[in-house]
Amino acid sequence: MNSKFVTPLIFSSALTLGALSFVACGEDSNPGFPGGQSTGNSSSSVYVPPEPTPTTAIVFSALSAPPSLTKIVFDGTLTLDLSDSNTVMDINAVRFTGVDFMIVKKETQVPQGTVNIAQPRDYVNTLVSTVSLSEMGVTTDLDVGYTDCGEFELIITAYADDGYVPSTSVARIPFTRSEEKCKVPESSSSAEPEAPGIPLTSVELQFNTKINRCFSAATGAISADETGDVCFKATSSTAIGLYSTTGFKFAIYNNRNDGDDWNDWTPNWLPDVPQTTSFTYLSSSLQETIGNFISEIGEQFVVGVAPTYAPLTGSAAGFVAFGVKESIPPDANGNVTMTLIIYKAAQ
């Protein structure tokens, strides 16, 4: 009997590509069991995951990959369905025996990039009944191992067994590597703003993604509204998204690429006389959102500019730069309290 948890699209994809088999293996794979924790690497061969079993006890839920320019942080959970005796005969023995990961270019199914796992699972010596991608720290650095831009997929192949009925299931998490990654890097001379530095003032504000979400560049105030110049929102249990409803765009500052270590500002290393030129950025890096704000920027600053920002006129209205001084781990709903140092110009 076919299980309701076998995705027809995944199953048909595996059959379509079955003629070209590429088996993933990595140094973390566990001997003696199918699968393991393969992380995958680049290859010129098309990758074809193992064929899913007709019935399966494996359930994928809440799979996601918030967009990012630097690092994709994968989320989701793999569990075992114990309600169907056709897929699990012995609920006391059923366990995951391995989970493999592979990244492929969606169009060609050729592997690229590398999957990083901060906390690997031991499927040999531990009875594993739940696999959380966020707890494992499954990520991929978009600057390592990629040669193309566009649409990619993280292919997850999971194996489980109760000693009677083995299960194999496959799921895919789509994500995008920005076309900006494939452009010829701009010279530092193209970094904006090009006008002489305009003075900035600083303020420390505490945001909470549930009650104090948005910041106004004009007034310097924060509010619980979901609209504003600089806003934050919990997009998953592990990701805080940065966005704007007024047209502001954002870029991680370019200071670390100018060869001057002394201006690599952090919330603990601040300029004595802050001005707009203290925080350089590439216009090509501006984006409307940052998918996993705290994880992506670390101790770096983010520059935000409004559509009306015109530094060559001698005005810095519509310019802000901000970094995270302190953050408290998320609550049960994923909401985070964080203190930001914000530099802003007179509006």
The string of pLDDT tens digits covering residues 94-106 is: 999 999 999 999 9
Write out pLDDT tens, residues 22-42: 333 333 333 334 555 556 554
Averaged pLDDT score across all residues of the chain: 82
CA atoms of 209 and 12, how far apart (whole Å):
41
CB burial class (10 A; 0-12, 13-18, 19+) of residue 273?
exposed
Bridge partners of 230, per DSSP, are 215
Question: Within 13 A of 217's CA, how many CA atoms are on the CB side?
Answer: 29
User: Which has the higher per-residue pLDDT, 82 or 78?
Assistant: 78
Write out pLDDT tens, residues 131-170. 999 999 999 999 899 999 999 999 999 999 998 989 999 9
Q: What pLDDT, on a 0 to 100 scale, did the predictor assign at position 194? A: 52
Between residues 139 and 2, the one the model is more confident about: 139
pLDDT score at 175: 95
Residue 313's pLDDT band, with cuts at 50, 70 and 90, is confident
| 2 or 86: which leads in pLDDT | 86
Contact status, residue 152 vs residue 105, Cβ threshold 8 Å: yes
Query: Does the global pTM surpass 0.85?
Result: no
Q: Is the pLDDT of residue 193 over 60?
A: no
pLDDT per residue as tens digits for the range 218-276: 888 898 888 999 999 988 877 889 999 999 999 999 998 887 888 899 998 999 999 99
**Domain architecture of the chain: domains with CATH:** 8-181 (2.60.40), 188-344 (no CATH)
Residue 266 contacts residue 297 (beta carbons within 8 Å): no
**Cβ-count burial of 211 within 10 angstroms (0-12 exposed, 13-18 middle, 19+ buried)?**
exposed
pLDDT of residue 6: 37
Residue 347 scores a pLDDT above 90: no
| Closest of 145, 170, 175 to residue 65, by C-alpha | 175
